[in-house]
Structure formats: C-alpha cells, structure tokens
Amino acid sequence: MIYYDVFNSKYGAILVCADTEGIRQINFQDGKNFTPIESDWIHSREKLEAAVEQLKAYFAGEIQNFELPLAPRGTDFQQRVWKALRNIPFGETRTYQDIAIELGNPNTSRAVGLANSLNPIPIVIPCHRVIGKNGKLTGYSGGMKLKEKLLMHEGILAKSFSLNFNQ
C-alpha cells in the first residue's frame, strides 16, 4: 500500500510517497522527472503529515535535519551510497570520490554518481550536496537550477558554483 500527498513549496509541487515502513519517494513534480500518481495509491495527508511538515520547515530554514523513517528501494550498493549521503552535514558538500573513499573503494566514483542520480528521496537523502571533483555542479534530478538554489538555501558559497555552472 502506497500513500501519497502533494504540496506546494517555493521550489514547486512536491510529491511525497510512503508505505508502512517509511518514506519511499520524494519527487519535484515540476521537473523533468514528473512522477504520475498510480491508480492504486491512496491520498493521505494524515500519513504524510510529518514528512510534509518537516520538508516545509527545512525550506523555511527552521530545521537542518530530518527525523523520518525512510524506506528507499535499491541495491545494496545504492543503499550504502544513500546512507553515506545522509552523513553529509547541512551546509557542506562532498564529491563523488569522497563518497567512494568513504565506502572503501575510491575507484567507484562513477557508480556512486549513478546511485546518487537514482536517489528516490532527495532533500532528506541530500544528493544535492554532492558536487564534481573539480568543484562544479553536476546533474540533479530536479534540474541544475534547483540544485543551485538548494545549495544557496544551505548557505554554501553558491557564487563560485554559479560561476562554474554558467561556464
């Protein structure tokens, strides 16, 4: 059973999905990765209330960390990468290689990048905090402009990222 809710934020409409284990997916509905709502999903503001409230509080600058049960679906490697992403503090970034080294194999930067791109729970699992080795912004499921805005929201020196992004 999948429960869902959609709410509007300053970053557009956001879909939040969960099952009885926890949050399964967060999606920016205004982006290229629009997720259609399945016919067997159940709309439930009540079941998603904590997630929606915490996301709103994050966007308002009231919280920096989330206290939500998560249930992303992925391979063992993806799960390890997503767990490592959750260790990146608010307002900091890491490179794909940093994550690969943390996982014990510096040669897996590309695999880390792929797992990062498949993260089903952005924001809460902060894949936006991962940048290229050269300091440039790299892909983001919600789009590069959104990634830049999220990094600016967290107070990361976004000016240098903006300069790199626009080159």
Mind giving me the DSSP string for 128-160? Answer: GGEE-TTS-----TT-HHHHHHHHHHTT--HHH
Distance of alpha carbon 65 from alpha carbon 53, whole angstroms: 12
* From 15, 17, 115, 127, the catalytic residue: 127
Dihedrals phi, psi of 103, to nearest 5 degrees: -80, -5
Alpha carbon 84 to chain centroid distance?
A: 13
The reply to whether 127 belongs to the active site is yes
Distance of alpha carbon 140 from alpha carbon 123, whole angstroms: 11
Catalytic residues: 127
